[in-house]
Amino acid sequence: MSALEKAESTVFVASGMYASVAMLSTLVPAGGHIVTTTDLYRKTRIYMETELPKRGITMTVIRPADMDALQDALDNNNVSLFFTETPTNPFLRCIDIELVSNMCHNKGALLCIDSTFASPINQKALTLGADMVVHSATKYIAGHNDVIGGCISGRDELVSKVRIYHHVVGGVLNPNASYLILRGMKTLHLRVQCQNSTALRMAQFLEEHPKIARVYYPGLPSHPEHHIAKSQMTGFGGVVSFEVDGDFDSTRKFIDYVKIPYHAPSFGGCESIIDQPAIMSYWDSKEQRDIYGIKDNLIRFSIGVEDFEDLKNDIVQALNKI
């Protein structure tokens, strides 16, 4: 993993969420201040909002493309860390890693990138100036939807601090999970290249379909950070988010009508997975859905390694029924 990310050191842990918790617990001191983005894995946000304040840690939340807000946060707070995903979940927004790393380092802050949606095949954040990279190894790295794990890569000085915390707290990756992740990494480049290609074709197809209201994919020129994605990624990933031209019920029916993708809350594996965030990740809070733009008709589609025509035909037959 260190070779893939061009990192000095890597520590593997029991889950991607634990990787984020260990990193935050190690690198953000009591009374510190962090910056993060609105578009983010929900459980990471919940941890930041509910657990970090117990240590006196405060937080500024900015929109992914709002560099003025980031500069304002850096100027007016003693920021320890800027932690964000790129691409983000679920709208696949992209942050200019080189730009924000310079902004953070000029103010003495660290930059940690959750690169799970990119994978180290498509993006190497450390070479662009990030101090640390976090992955949920459950996703592309293991790639078979059958194991949970996470990892943290970066400078040895920083990873060693996380490793010391990790050895005290636990969150140890079990030997069988380690074996499964090693097995998955042997085909990582093959799987991701296939998923990149199929996802781009799917995004282009969906954008032209009359029953699709909007498509979110960094490989499309219509994406607000397409220029950033092109400059720092070698491929755009295997996840396509889109909004059906319909309401909650028609979107739910569409999900039920598709036959190939599994209905599950994950991504990055060999099998395609599809979900409706309004009844999956955000099922319990309409208020949170409204705040973060999670519409009833939003769908997150993780492309697997199936044939594009098979997936397209399945999507078409499902759309024709709503």
pLDDT per residue as tens digits for the range 300-311: 999 999 999 999
Q: Are residues 298 and 265 in the same domain?
A: yes
Q: Is residue 215 part of a domain?
A: yes
Burial 197-225 (b: 16+ CB within 10 A, else e): ebbbbbbebbbebebbeebbbbbbeebeb
Among 178, 212, 228, which residue terminates a domain?
178
- pLDDT grade, residue 280 (50/70/90)? confident
In the 8-state DSSP scheme, what is residue 279? G
Q: What is the mean pLDDT of residues 169-180?
A: 95
Q: What is the mean pLDDT of residues 263-268?
A: 91
The one-letter amino acid code at 42 reads R
Domain residues for 37? 9-178
Q: Are residues 45 and 74 in the same domain?
A: yes
Q: Are residues 201 and 283 in the same domain?
A: yes
| pLDDT, tens digit (0-9, with 9 covering 90-100), for 66-96 | 999 999 999 999 999 999 999 999 999 999 9
Half-sphere exposure of 68 toward its Cβ, with a 13 Å CA cutoff?
0
Q: Are residues 23 and 172 in the same domain?
A: yes
Please provide the average confidence, as pLDDT, over all residues in the chain. Answer: 95
CB 308, CB 198: distance < 8 Å: yes
Q: Is residue 1 part of a domain?
A: no
Bridge partners of 157, per DSSP, are: none
Among 137, 159, 178, which residue terminates a domain?
178
Q: What is the mean pLDDT of residues 303-320?
A: 97
Q: What is the mean pLDDT of residues 258-280?
A: 92
- pLDDT grade, residue 278 (50/70/90)? confident
Q: Are residues 105 and 18 in the same domain?
A: yes
Q: Are residues 88 and 118 in the same domain?
A: yes
Check which CATH number belongs to the domain holding 246 and give it. Answer: 3.90.1150.10
Q: What is the mean pLDDT of residues 271-297?
A: 80
Bridge partners of 60, per DSSP, are: 35
CB 232, CB 115: distance < 8 Å: no
| pLDDT, tens digit (0-9, with 9 covering 90-100), for 3-52 | 999 999 999 999 999 999 999 999 999 999 999 999 888 889 889 999 99
Q: Are residues 230 and 166 in the same domain?
A: no
Q: Is residue 281 part of a domain?
A: yes
| pLDDT, tens digit (0-9, with 9 covering 90-100), for 132-167 | 999 999 999 999 999 999 999 999 999 999 999 999
Q: Is residue 64 part of a domain?
A: yes
Among 159, 178, 197, which residue terminates a domain?
178
Dihedral over Cα of 212, 215, 220, 225: its sign: positive
Q: Is residue 73 part of a domain?
A: yes
More confident residue, 277 or 94: 94
How many domains in the chain? 2
Q: Is the pLDDT of residue 188 over 90?
A: yes
The residues near 281 (Cβ < 8 Å, ≥ 6 apart) are 42, 90, 265, 275, 294
Q: Are residues 97 and 22 in the same domain?
A: yes
Neighbours of 77 (CB within 10 A): 17
In the 8-state DSSP scheme, what is residue 51? T
Check which CATH number belongs to the domain holding 162 and give it. Answer: 3.40.640.10
pLDDT, residue 23, reads 96
Q: What is the mean pLDDT of residues 97-117?
A: 98
Q: Are residues 172 and 242 in the same domain?
A: no
